[in-house]
């Protein structure tokens, strides 16, 4: 783990203590512009701003943000909760805030929320070449469960399906 995050274990995988001063809370309307700015810096095929807005009141989605002590938005995560499954639909950290444990903090929050919701399994898709994200997920107990050929655009690439049982 780079930067300020400390690690403990839950017996199955790593869990992050918060990097100093960073907290995770539910996203609100006022966060949308900063979320979308990070989205555009992070992905070649970013979600539209309206897509994030629609999630604010969605009964089966949760959008969480990580903010620093000055209230600046450092990252966000979106997850779906349906029946006994949860899916991580999006997670990104501002380029200047990476490798400090923020992504792990957001992921740990989603895993806790999924367990509280009653999910048995958490899924996600990740570009095969996305080493940073794959390291993050593997460190949290996710395993490759399959592949979707040419799933991504800009650029075209296969998706790995990763799964963690709770």
Distance CA 80, CA 155 (A): 25
Cβ(121)–Cβ(164) under 8 Å?
A: yes
Residue 2: name the closest of 80, 75, 102, 82 by CA. Answer: 102
- Which span (46-54, 87-95, 115-123, 148-156) binds ligand COA, by CB under 6 A? 87-95
CB of 26 to ligand COA, least distance (A): 19
Distance CA 63, CA 13 (A): 23
- For ligand COA, the closer of residues 1 and 59 by Cβ is 1
CB of 10 to ligand COA, least distance (A): 13
Judged by CB under 6 A, the residue of 53, 98, 112, 163 near ligand COA is 98
Contacts 24+ apart (CB under 8 A), 57-61: 61/89
Judged by CB under 6 A, the residue of 24, 34, 102, 160 near ligand COA is 102
- By CB under 6 A, what part of segment 104-123 binds ligand COA? 104
- Selecting among 125, 128, 138, 157, the annotated active-site residue is 125
Distance CA 118, CA 133 (A): 25
Residue 81 falls in the annotated catalytic set:
no
- For ligand COA, the closer of residues 53 and 134 by Cβ is 134
Distance CA 123, CA 29 (A): 27
- By CB under 6 A, what part of segment 36-65 binds ligand COA? 42
């Amino acid at each position: 783990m780079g930067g300020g995050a400390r690690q403990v274990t839950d017996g199955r995988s790593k869990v992050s203590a918060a990097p100093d001063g960073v907290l995770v809370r539910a996203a609100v309307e006022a966060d949308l512009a900063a979320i979308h700015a990070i989205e555009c810096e992070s992905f070649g095929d970013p979600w539209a701003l309206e897509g994030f807005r629609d999630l604010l009141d969605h009964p089966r989605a949760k959008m969480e943000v990580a903010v620093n002590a000055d209230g600046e938005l450092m990252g966000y995560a979106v997850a779906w909760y349906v029946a006994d499954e949860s899916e991580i639909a999006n997670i990104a950290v501002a380029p200047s805030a990476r490798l400090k444990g923020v992504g792990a903090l957001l992921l740990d929050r989603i895993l806790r929320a999924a367990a509280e919701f009653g999910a048995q399994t958490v899924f996600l898709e990740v570009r095969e070449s996305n080493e940073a994200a794959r390291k993050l997920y593997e460190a949290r107990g996710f395993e490759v469960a399959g592949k979707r050929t040419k799933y991504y655009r800009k650029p075209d690439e296969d998706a790995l399906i990763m799964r963690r049982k709770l």
